[in-house]
Amino acid sequence: MKKLTLGRVMCVTALMASTVAPALALDYESKPIMWCIQAPFRLAGALTGAAVSGLVSGPINDGYHWAIKGTKHVAGKFGDENGTGQLVAATPLGGSVGLVLGTAYGVYDGTWHGLKTGWNKPFSRWSYITMEEK
C-alpha cells in the first residue's frame, strides 16, 4: 500500500515538473513579468540610494575634495601650491569656496549616482557611497 502511494507521489511530482519546465524555458516571455516583480524593489533601492548618497555621501565626499582642490589652486596662484605659508593663506578663500561648491555639486552628483546604481543594484553598498566599484 505504501509503495503505491509513494509511486503516485513520484508520478505527480514528475508531471508537475514537466508542466512548469516550458514556462521556465520561455525566457523572452518571462522578462516582462520579472521586470514587473523587480520594479518596486528597484525603485525603493534607487530612492534610498539617492537619498543617502545625495544628502550624505556625495556632499561630504565632493565638499572635502573640492576644498582641497580650491586651496591648492589658490595656493598655486600665490606661488607654491605645496608651500605651508601659501596653503595657510589660501585656506580661508579657496577652501571655503571649494567646500560650498563641492557640497552643491555633491548633492547633484550623489543623487544621480544613487538613482542609477540603486536601480541597477538595489540596496547594494555601492548605491549608498559615491566611490567607484572595485
pTM of the prediction?
0.68
* 131 against 124, higher pLDDT: 124
| Residue-wise pLDDT tens digits, 94-128 | 999 999 999 999 999 999 999 999 999 898 888 88
| Residue-wise pLDDT tens digits, 26-65 | 555 556 777 778 888 999 999 999 999 999 999 999 999 9
Determine the Cα–Cα distance for residues 58 and 108; give it in Å rounded to an integer: 8
Determine the Cα–Cα distance for residues 99 and 62; give it in Å rounded to an integer: 8
Indicate if the alpha-carbon torsion angle 23, 27, 28, 31 is positive or negative: positive
Query: 78 and 90 in contact (C-beta within 8 Å)?
Result: yes
Task: Give the ranges where the chain is alpha helix by DSSP (H).
Answer: 2-25, 27-52, 58-78, 84-90, 96-120
What are the structural domain ranges in the chain? Answer: 42-134
Determine the Cα–Cα distance for residues 7 and 13; give it in Å rounded to an integer: 10
Mean pLDDT of 72-77: 93
